[in-house]
Amino acid sequence: MSFYPVFPAQLATAEFALIRFGLDLLSPCRLVPADLLSLRPPLLRAAGGLAPARRNGLLNPRPSSDPVAVRRYQKPAPPFVLRPEPRQAGDYLEGDRLDLEVLFLGTGTLAIGDLLAMLQTLGEDGLTPDGGGRFEVAQVDGLGADGTWRRLWRSTRPGDEPVPELLLLDHWLDRHWPAPGGVVLELLTPARLVSGGRVLRRPQFRQLFPFLLRRVTSMLHAHCGLEPVDEPARLLETAAAVEAAWLDCRWLDWRTPAAGGDAELVGGCLGRLSLAGEGLEELLWIVLLATLFGIGKGAAYGAGRCVLLPPGDLLPVAGPIYSH
């Protein structure tokens, strides 16, 4: 693997923002992983106060009018990605702080204020199905290009609009490109991958990579107006030749709110996948961007969050946290 990053030049025009919403708890609660991954229904309800055009643009973007793009890319997903961490599950007391990190991509960077308004409404209802974990949004911070977080908004000055520093995807790839050698892709939150109507519980990399490719290219097309991959078939062939082996792979089922107020059982895989060999370098930019965007069903709301690690720098296994 080369020391020099290899990725499409188009990414020099792709902008994003990393935002951290500081939620101060007004009532105690116990957050289980399912709560952190089930914010879509309450956020949809909280969006009722937005103008329809703004609400749809944020939560249900319109498909492309280009029939070729409709066939090639996924239905447009929201231009944001909630990025909860497994360690955030646990018991919270009144006055505790919960930081919710959210990525906004391309045109989505204009909607930070809309998501702030939705979170403020959600805070009145609480984070858990029983109404626990009511909160107020105390502050909003944004990540700068130098790696430091800066205050963009605070509840004591509610009339201000949070204006972030926009980051460039090509600069981010330059900074996060791994050293030569193999890497480990770790799934931090469950990835729900469905192919041909079948859920993949222990996918091989050649089965996993199409999900990464479609998620990354679809997000870039929908929210940055970019089409950085000319020959997806060639990349799929390259993925089939990558040396891949699961170091550990686990399945998690959890209950999430469904239509009508009932709960439905969903699931996804967690684990660590070792990647090495010829061809990996050409695919790395896609794998790295998938660590920003997530993969699989529910990726916009925190499912399928992953990180890329050097083989000697593995994080603690997330299994105990997901035993609830």
pLDDT band at 311 (very low <50, low <70, confident <90, very high): confident
Q: What's the mean pLDDT when you consider all of the chain?
A: 91
Give pLDDT tens digits for 268-285.
Answer: 999 999 999 988 999 999
Q: Is the pLDDT confidence value at 323 over 50? A: no
What band does 324 get if pLDDT is binned at 50, 70 and 90?
very low
37-51, 189-203, 308-322: segment of lowest average pLDDT: 308-322
pLDDT at 318: 46
Task: Please state the three-class secondary structure of the chain as a single string.
Answer: CCCCCCCCHHHHHCEEEEEEEEEEECCCEEECHHHHCCCHHHHHHHHHHCCHHHHHHHHCCCCCCCHHHHHHCCCCCCCEEECCCHHHCEEECCCCEEEEEEEEEHHHHHHHHHHHHHHHHHHHHCCCCCCCCCEEEEEEEEECCCCCEEEEEECCCCCCCCCCCCEEHHHHHHHHCCCCCCEEEEEEEEEECEECCEECCCCCHHHHHHHHHHHHHHHHHHHHCCCCCCCHHHHHHHHHHCEEEEEEEEEEEEEEECHHHCEEEEEEEEEEEEEECCCHHHHHHHHHHHHHHCCCECHHHCCCCEEEECCCCCCCCCCCHHHC
Tens-digit pLDDT profile for residues 41-70: 999 999 998 999 999 999 999 888 888 777
Residue 26, pLDDT above cutoff 70:
yes
- CATH class of segment(s) 178-323: alpha beta
The pLDDT > 70 percentage for the chain reads 92
